[in-house]
């Protein structure tokens, strides 16, 4: 099992949005955080499965940092 960082934020028009790793190009919405996380898990797992079938691997050089302004 791998761990991926996702970005979650509220969007009034869409509910709660979540963006997966850049390689997955996943952007989903959910009514609750739990629903969104389940949707992200399923979508990222699907992308990883296709990448594996195509002989590709997820990008390993992604960094996540917090910046206070």
Segment 11-36, tens digit of pLDDT: 888 889 888 776 567 788 899 989 98
Contacts for 61 with CB less than 8 Å, ≥ 6 apart:
none
> Per the structure block, which two tokens stand in for 16?
């709660």
Higher pLDDT, 49 or 67: 49
> Per the structure block, which two tokens stand in for 33?
């955080």
Instruction: Name all domains of the chain by residue range, CATH numbers in brackets.
Output: 1-69 (3.30.160.250)
> Per the structure block, which two tokens stand in for 19?
């963006």
DSSP letter at 4 equals: -
Contacts for 40 with CB less than 8 Å, ≥ 6 apart:
6, 18, 20, 26, 28
Q: What is the pLDDT of residue 63?
A: 54
């Amino acid at each position: 099992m791998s761990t991926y960082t996702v970005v979650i934020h509220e969007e009034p028009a869409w509910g709660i949005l979540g963006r997966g790793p850049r390689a997955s190009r996943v952007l989903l919405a959910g009514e609750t955080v739990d629903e969104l996380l389940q949707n992200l898990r399923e979508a990222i797992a699907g992308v990883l499965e296709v990448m594996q079938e195509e002989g590709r691997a997820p990008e390993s050089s992604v960094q996540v940092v917090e910046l206070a302004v």
